[in-house]
Every structure is written in structure tokens, then in C-alpha cells.
């Protein structure tokens, strides 16, 4: 029985407390694209100075970046990813893969990835570490793990940011909006684990009723969930994933992996996943679509294509 005002522990929840924020995601993306210094990060992200400074401080405190001086007078610093920060890479790759398929905004910059070991351009794919098959959300089972317990749902106050903060300089649009709105990601997590009705989702996430209703409406508007009537007298609805929503699963899966590594309890993970196809405990990895080998950050090169705005034609 669920204790009052407590929710089940979740590595995704803990991870979202650190990276479930659109400006933070834009900074991480900019770092992957080579930005290190404050002005480089500001140009790439489009964030205001005060907001960028605040998020960089948080990322340093959280251990994802370290500051390295490159000028003494006046003092200037570069922001370099730590191992913990670099490990968000696989979540970013899954966000990129989802955005490439479902984002649809041609005004954004484009990127082509090359896997150095095989020399081919590739699309990152989620795969089972045991059988190497591509992971599909419908082929994953889950069970409570040794670290399951109860935690207080402490929400930090963050301004809702769904607009595309990075403009044409950003790779991510909808992917960053989904993960950058922590409540939306938690709702998606609940639906993926079979919690589909309003009151059940509210109990699972501890989200206020008005906020939950608004987020569910927004998730429907962007096409990742849909309503389904399961009772007519009185009318009752539940929320199901669309194909677009189902294919967002690898993003949360890699975020879960990151959370398990850095925020898991001493007893172990609160959630254990298994792959139905091969029966093994799921060790999710990101692989090259061409050679099926595990992708490592140092083995990937990329080419960025900046989008040039097309002048609007004016009828005369």
C-alpha cells in the first residue's frame, strides 16, 4: 500500500531533477557541438546571460561540468564535461534520433553522424546488450528492483519553457521540450509502465490535478499520447501512447540508465528491466545502425549543417 504523500523511488525522477530542464539540455547539446566558453555557449543556446550563468553553476555543483581557467587577467573559464556529464551522451543520441524522425522542423541545424570504426554515416539505435536486437518498448518487461522504496515528491520551482529556446542553432526542439518539462517526462514514464488513468497517474507522480490536466492536454497536442474511452456510464478515459510516443521510449531508457549509475540507492536499482526477445536482463546500449557496434563518444564524428533562412516570397 502506498504511504500517504510518498511515491515510489525512480532513477528517472532523480535524473530529471538534474537534466529535466530545457536550458540545461541546450547547454549540454552546445557542449557536444564544441562550445566551451561562456560566449560560445550563449551564442549556441540563445540563452540570456543570467539564465546561462545560473544553469552553468548548477551543472558544476551537480558534477556534470568543471570550470577550467584559460585566462588570468581578467579571469576566464572554460566549461568542460566530466565523466558524469559525458555519460548523458547516450540520452542525447536518443533524443537526436527521435528528433530526426519526429521533429519535422527544417529551420533547425542538421547534423550527420559518422561512426569512425566502420566509416559510415549512421543513425544511433537502442539495442539489447545481450542479443544486440533493437529495443522496442513493447518488448521490455519491468519489475521492482532491490532499491525500490518511497520518497517525498520534492519539486523544485522552474519556469515552464516549451518555446524553442535555441532557435535555429539547436538540434533539439520537441525532444528538449518533452524532457525539459519534467512533469511531462514523468507522465510519459507512468504511461510506459502501464499507469494510464488520470487518478492513477496523479498518485504515481504526485502532480497537482490542474498541472496534470494541462500536461496531458499538451502531450496530446504534440501527438505523443491519445485518449481512449474505457467506460461510457459514466464516461471514463485513459491515456495511451501513439507511435510517436512509443518511439520516445529509448530517451527515457537511457536516462534511466544514467540515473541508475549516479543516483541509485546502495541496495540497487528501483526498477529492473528484461528483454522479452532473449529473456536477459536488459543492458541498454546505443549502437551504430550500420555495423551494430556499441557507440562510444570518441568514435563519433559529426558534420553540422547550419540552416540558411529562405526569404519569404512576397506576391506583387
Residue 312 lies in a domain: no
Residue 311 lies in a domain: no
Contacts of 238 (CB under 8 A, 6+ apart): 196, 197, 227, 228, 230
Count up the domains in the chain and report the number: 1
In sequence order, the β-bridge partners of residue 80 are 66
**What CA–CA distance (Å, rounded) separates 188 from 196?**
10
pLDDT attached to residue 139: 92
55 contacts 26 by C-beta, under 8 angstroms: no
Residue 316 lies in a domain: no
Q: What are the grid coordinates assigned to 285, written together?
A: 546500449
Any idea of the CA torsion for 244, 84, 259, 44, to the nearest 10 degrees? -30
User: What range does the domain containing 129 cover?
Assistant: 7-305
Query: What stretches of the chain show up as alpha helix (H) in DSSP?
Result: 11-19, 22-32, 38-45, 49-61, 83-86, 89-102, 174-180, 182-192, 198-205, 209-221, 243-246, 249-263
pLDDT attached to residue 135: 94
Question: How many Cβ atoms are within 10 Å of 222's Cβ, its own excluded?
Answer: 16
- Crossing angle of helices 22-32 and 38-45, in 10° steps, is 110
Residue 2 lies in a domain: no
Residue 176 lies in a domain: yes
Q: What are the grid coordinates assigned to 159, written together?
A: 519556469
pLDDT attached to residue 262: 95
Task: Report cis status (omega within 30 of 0) of the bond before 171.
Answer: no
Residue 1 lies in a domain: no
Q: What is the pLDDT along the chain (316 residues), one digit of tens a residue?
A: 555 566 777 888 889 989 988 899 999 989 988 899 999 999 988 899 999 999 999 999 999 999 999 888 888 899 999 999 999 999 999 999 999 888 766 566 778 999 999 999 999 999 999 999 999 998 999 888 888 777 776 655 554 555 444 444 466 778 888 888 888 988 998 999 889 999 999 988 888 899 999 999 999 999 999 999 888 878 788 999 999 999 999 999 999 999 999 988 888 888 899 999 999 999 999 999 999 999 999 999 988 876 655 444 433 3
Tell me, rounded to whole angstroms, the distance of Cα 31 from its chain centroid.
16
In sequence order, the β-bridge partners of residue 226 are 240
Amino acid at each position: 500500500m502506498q504511504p500517504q504523500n510518498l511515491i515510489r523511488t525512480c532513477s528517472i525522477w532523480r535524473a530529471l531533477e538534474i537534466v529535466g530542464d530545457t536550458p540545461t539540455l541546450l547547454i549540454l547539446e552546445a557542449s557536444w557541438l564544441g562550445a566551451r566558453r561562456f560566449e560560445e555557449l550563449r551564442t549556441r543556446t540563445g540563452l540570456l546571460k543570467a539564465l546561462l550563468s545560473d544553469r552553468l553553476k548548477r551543472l558544476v555543483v551537480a558534477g556534470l561540468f568543471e570550470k577550467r581557467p584559460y585566462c588570468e587577467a581578467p579571469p576566464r573559464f572554460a566549461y568542460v564535461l566530466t565523466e558524469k556529464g559525458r555519460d548523458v551522451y547516450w540520452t542525447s543520441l536518443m533524443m537526436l534520433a527521435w528528433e530526426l524522425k519526429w521533429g519535422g522542423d527544417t529551420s533547425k541545424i542538421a547534423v550527420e553522424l559518422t561512426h569512425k570504426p566502420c566509416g559510415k554515416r549512421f543513425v544511433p539505435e537502442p539495442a539489447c546488450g545481450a542479443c544486440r536486437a533493437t529495443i522496442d518498448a513493447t518488448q521490455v518487461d519491468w519489475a521492482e528492483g532491490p532499491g525500490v522504496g518511497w520518497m517525498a515528491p520534492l519539486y523544485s520551482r522552474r519556469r515552464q519553457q516549451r518555446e524553442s529556446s535555441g532557435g535555429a542553432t539547436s538540434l533539439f526542439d520537441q525532444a528538449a521540450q518533452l524532457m525539459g518539462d519534467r512533469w511531462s517526462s514523468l507522465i510519459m514514464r507512468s504511461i510506459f509502465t502501464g499507469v494510464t488513468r488520470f487518478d492513477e497517474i496523479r498518485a504515481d507522480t504526485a502532480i497537482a490535478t490542474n498541472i496534470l490536466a494541462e500536461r496531458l492536454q499538451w502531450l496530446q497536442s504534440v501527438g505523443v499520447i491519445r485518449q481512449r474511452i474505457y467506460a461510457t456510464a459514466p464516461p471514463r478515459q485513459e491515456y495511451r501512447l501513439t507511435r510517436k510516443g512509443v518511439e520516445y521510449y529509448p530517451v527515457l531508457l537511457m536516462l534511466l540508465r544514467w540515473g541508475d549509475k549516479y543516483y541509485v540507492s546502495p541496495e540497487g536499482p528501483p526498477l529492473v528491466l528484461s528483454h522479452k526477445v532473449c529473456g536477459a536482463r536488459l543492458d541498454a546500449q546505443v549502437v551504430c545502425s550500420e555495423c551494430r557496434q556499441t557507440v562510444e563518444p570518441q568514435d563519433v564524428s559529426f558534420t553540422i549543417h547550419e540552416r540558411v533562412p529562405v526569404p519569404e516570397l512576397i506576391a506583387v
